[in-house]
């Protein structure tokens, strides 16, 4: 259960920033705070650490670059789902391969996809309302969310799972409100 909670927490962090949780996993595994699943030990190698650190810096800088932030969202969504799948697979206990990867894809990739989708919508709304001037605030919030969820997932996976559940409820609530408003605007006046 802790492996699943850890994976879902790291996957949610991947939805905010694809490479922050991978970098954090690499550092935590190298420091002995995180045990990786068999076959995923490559995450703790020198080459992976350098690659994740480079990708993290480039991803962060790109989200603070006007117009590039919205363009990056088109690439970041599939990357977040892939990262969410990988981070979950890397911490799941030893399971039969089909179950291992199905759980990683559904729980990990799905969680990352939902969070990433919500951040894309938030950035689009910010761009529409502020002409992009509010996007650095959104980028900062996403970065903080990725860091906090990554740390929390390793130190207190069950608490991270509660935070992710709260995020899901918030996303569902906001989407529901938006759909009700839209439906109300589309109804004919009587």
Domain ranges of the chain: 2-186
- pLDDT above 60 for 189: no
- pLDDT above 80 for 4: yes
Quote the tokens at residue 111. Answer: 């969680």
pLDDT tens by residue, 95-148? 888 998 998 999 999 999 999 988 888 888 888 888 888 889 999 999 999 999
When pLDDT is cut at 50, 70 and 90, the band that residue 12 belongs to is very high
Average pLDDT, the chain: 88
When pLDDT is cut at 50, 70 and 90, the band that residue 190 belongs to is very low
Question: Is the CB of residue 150 less than 8 Å from the CB of residue 21?
Answer: yes
| pLDDT (0 to 100) of residue 187 | 56
Q: Nearest CA to 10 among 108, 131, 115, 122?
A: 108
The DSSP letter of residue 183 is: H
Letter string b/e over residues 122-131, b meaning 16 or more CB atoms within 10 A of that residue's CB:
bbeebbeeee
CA distance 143 to 75: 17
| pLDDT (0 to 100) of residue 30 | 94
Residue, of 171 and 98, whose pLDDT is higher: 98
CA distance 92 to 41: 13
Q: Model-level pTM?
A: 0.85
């Amino acid at each position: 259960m802790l492996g699943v909670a850890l994976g879902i927490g790291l996957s949610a962090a991947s939805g905010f920033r694809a490479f922050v949780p991978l970098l954090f996993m690499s550092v935590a595994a190298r420091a002995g705070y995180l045990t990786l699943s068999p076959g995923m030990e490559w995450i703790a190698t020198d080459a992976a650490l350098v690659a994740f650190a480079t990708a993290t810096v480039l991803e962060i800088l790109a989200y603070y670059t006007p117009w590039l932030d919205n363009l990056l969202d088109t690439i970041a969504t599939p990357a977040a789902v892939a990262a969410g799948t990988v981070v979950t697979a890397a911490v799941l206990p030893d399971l039969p391969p089909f179950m291992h990867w199905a759980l990683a894809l559904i729980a990990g990739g799905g969680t990352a996809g939902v969070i990433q989708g919500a951040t894309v919508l938030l950035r689009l709304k910010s761009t529409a309302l502020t002409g992009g001037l509010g996007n650095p605030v959104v980028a900062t919030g996403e970065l903080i969310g990725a860091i906090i969820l990554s740390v929390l997932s390793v130190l207190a996976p069950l608490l991270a799972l509660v935070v992710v559940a709260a995020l899901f409820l918030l996303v569902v609530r906001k989407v529901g409100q938006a759909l009700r408003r839209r439906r109300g605007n589309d109804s004919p006046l009587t």
